[in-house]
Amino acid sequence: TTWLQPEDVAEWIDRYDTFLFDCDGVIWLDNDVVPNVPEALRNLRKLGKKILFVSNNATKHRSEYMTKFKKMGIEAEIEDIITSAVGAARYFVSEYGAGSKVFVCGSQGLAQEFEDVGAQVVRPASVLDTSPPVGGPALHQVDPEIKAVVAGADWNLTHRKLGYAVVCLNTVPGCGLIATNRDPLYPAADGNMYPGAGATVAPLELCSGRTAVTIGKPGPMLLDILVKTQGMDKSRAVMVGDRLDSDIKFGNDGGIHTLVVLTGVTRTRAEADAASGALRARFGLASLGDLAPR
């Protein structure tokens, strides 16, 4: 990994037309903006660069991202944001058709992205019930028309939700399993790592004997959508992220340059330098804020 020095930054920026940014751990930690990031992004826009946000975080609808960007003084358009929730919703409709039923083991924001593309999100009363089941699991009569279960990070994950999803996967013929992403951990503002989408996906795979179709980074689907919708020249694009196993692998496998920052999951230069193959970033920087003009 080549670590950029302050004097290299301007020349490095010149190499690219399109900058792809992960959000959690790069732009912000929970609700705290990483210092100097708004100035860095303003500088890139002033230089005529295209800025895209590519996030595995499927807990928020893009309108929530817009609100968050605005609060932090960051300019963005809704079509500049692509999340694994958007990718999962598009994939579902292309596979099963608009109007098809889906069960969401994830957040309200994820469900909303599915509704935006015409999917019917099933919200069973037996799942929404908050009374504790007594003496065994809550029992579910599942909707036999459910075409797939989609799994994402879920801060309100319950045994009821997992139970409904597992019964769908094991009893509804042809029911698919879609994972927004497989990130095991989520970096929070208190410095701790909490269970991410992988913690929803793993029990569903375990209990159904299936392997989910994974939409988010490091898989190619989100990059394919961006190339199609944004007409991006991959040779003049760079992916900036904090996770070697998702962001950096995503860029390297997709044939674009990569830059790792140390404000999220990857904390030290030594960690980044020890990575090899597709997990090794071409460039490194302590923080995205270091791209702000000095």
Rg of the chain (C-alpha set): 20
Q: Quick one: tokens of 282?
A: 């071409």
- Written as one letter, the residue type at 279 is L
Q: Is the pLDDT of residue 231 over 90?
A: no
Confidence of residue 74 (pLDDT cuts 50, 70, 90): very high
Across the range 170-198, mean pLDDT stands at: 93
Mean pLDDT of the chain: 95
Q: What is the pLDDT of residues 85-136, one digit of tens each?
A: 999 999 999 999 999 999 999 999 999 999 999 999 999 999 999 888 788 9
Q: Quick one: tokens of 11?
A: 């020349």
State the chain's maximal CA–CA distance in angstroms. 66
Q: Which long-range contacts (CB under 8 A, 24 or more apart) does 172-175 make?
A: 172/142, 172/144, 172/146, 174/147, 175/146, 175/147, 175/148, 175/149
Confidence of residue 46 (pLDDT cuts 50, 70, 90): very high
Confidence of residue 198 (pLDDT cuts 50, 70, 90): very high
What pLDDT is attached to residue 134? 81
Q: Quick one: tokens of 168?
A: 């769908």
What pLDDT is attached to residue 289? 97
User: Cα 46 from chain centroid?
Assistant: 27
Q: What is the rounded CA–CA span in Å between residue 42 and residue 77?
A: 14
Tell me the DSSP string of 42-60.
HHHHHTT-EEEEEE---SS
Which residue is it, tokens 């994402």?
152
Name the residue among 265, 220, 221 with its Cα closest to residue 241: 265
Residue 290 a catalytic site member: no
What pLDDT is attached to residue 24? 93
Which is the catalytic residue, given 8, 14, 17, 233?
17
Q: Is the pLDDT of residue 294 over 90?
A: no
Q: What is the pLDDT of residues 163-183, one digit of tens each?
A: 999 999 999 999 999 999 999
Q: How many CB atoms lie within 10 A of CB 177?
A: 21
What pLDDT is attached to residue 172? 98
Three-state DSSP state, 226:
helix
Confidence of residue 229 (pLDDT cuts 50, 70, 90): confident
Q: What is the rounded CA–CA span in Å between residue 223 and residue 280?
A: 19
Name the residue among 46, 51, 78 with its Cα closest to residue 62: 78
Name the residue among 90, 113, 131, 74 with its Cα closest to residue 222: 90
The whole-model pTM stands at: 0.89
Q: What is the rounded CA–CA span in Å between residue 157 and residue 176?
A: 20
Q: What is the rounded CA–CA span in Å between residue 179 and residue 151?
A: 5
Q: Nearest 10 degrees: CA dihedral of 271, 277, 280, 282?
A: 150
Which residue is it, tokens 């799942």?
127
Q: Quick one: tokens of 5?
A: 């020095």
